[in-house]
Amino acid sequence: MTDDSIANHGSAPATVDEFRERLTQITPDLPRRLRQCADYIAAHSDRIAVSTVAELAAGADVPPSALMRFCQIIGFSGFSEMQKLFREAYAPGWPDYSTRLRNLKEGGAGSPAALLAEFIEAGRLSLESLAKTVDETALADAVQTLSKAETIHVVGFRRAFPVASYLVYVFEKMSVPAMLHDGVGKLDHRFALRPGDAVLAITFAPYSEETLTLAQDARDRGLPVIGLTDRVTSPLARTSSAIITVPEVDFGAFRSLSATIALALSLAVAVGSARE
């Protein structure tokens, strides 16, 4: 390490974002031990706020002094200054969210507030788990396929229906030709499927017969089918050209749909902008 690069002093990152930027920027040309620090910190930045130098150093498998040097190279005066940044940035997430949740639950099991707390929690967990498990490739494939389609046929019944209807609403707002197969009047819309179209089918266990049928139908005619479902083993997988799974956490017999809607929304917006 030359004197020049230590001259980063005095320009400490002021936000977590700045920190990450600097981190990725300097990581490539760092000697072995310092690289270990950078890698470990990048993967566990959430623990900086609650750990000691010794603990982090042990995690990165380097002596404490190496971690110390690392902090200084990034621009901090030392570890404490870096930790301060993370301790302060730690508030915005949940100023006292968990406390509040607990209070809500104390209204007593079955009280509306307690129920709400449970659903909020389920929603949050679903979103987090979606972030962790989403298959980016499948998502990109789906976007690709749908943006090339003439008309997008969206189908979903029962609890998938709200998602389907929201999708169509968003497609409309973005001027993407889309059709909602909602089964109103028991009309069978399958003749609306035309060459060049694509189907976006949404269903969760217990899988809706109508949805599967429409997907199969589209498949038979050679149209691409994008499946939005809960497991890779879903019957929808057999008929779909791309399948995206959403890990939704239930509370009781009902699911929050948070993750499903977030996914549907990003799908729709991505398709909308790809088509412009």
Instruction: Tell me how far apart the alpha carbons of residues 87 and 144 are, in angstroms, rounded to a whole number.
Output: 41
Please identify which residue in 7, 17, 43, 78 interacts with DNA, judged by CB under 7 A: 78
Among 23, 49, 53, 269, binds DNA (CB under 7 A): 53
Least CB distance to DNA at residue 43 (A): 19
Could you say whether residue 137 binds DNA (CB under 7 A)? no
First-residue to last-residue Cα distance in the chain: 49
Residue choice 11, 15, 25, 65 for contact with DNA (CB under 7 A): 65
Considering only 31, 133, 177, 254, the residue that binds DNA (CB under 7 A) is: 31
Q: Is 33 in the site for DNA (CB under 7 A)?
A: yes
CA 139 to mean position of chain CA atoms: 11
CB 256 within 8 A of CB 163: no
CB distance 83 to 48 below 8 Å: yes
CB 33 within 8 A of CB 60: no
Contacts of 18 (CB under 8 A, 6+ apart): none
Q: 80 vs 266, which CB is nearer to DNA?
A: 80
Q: Rule CB under 7 A: say whether 1 interacts with DNA.
A: yes
Question: Nearest Cα to 227, choosing from 120, 142, 114, 135?
Answer: 142
- Please report whether residue 87 would count as binding DNA according to CB under 7 A: no
For DNA, the binding residue among 23, 68, 114, 269 (CB under 7 A) is 68
The total of other beta-carbon atoms located within 10 Å of residue 10's CB is: 7
What does the per-residue mask of binding to DNA show for 92-121, with x meaning CB under 7 A?
------------------------------
Hunting for tokens 């900086």 — which residue is that? 48
Q: Is 131 in the site for DNA (CB under 7 A)?
A: no
Residue numbers at the binding site for DNA (CB under 7 A)? 1-2, 31-34, 52-54, 62-66, 68-69, 71-72, 77-81, 83
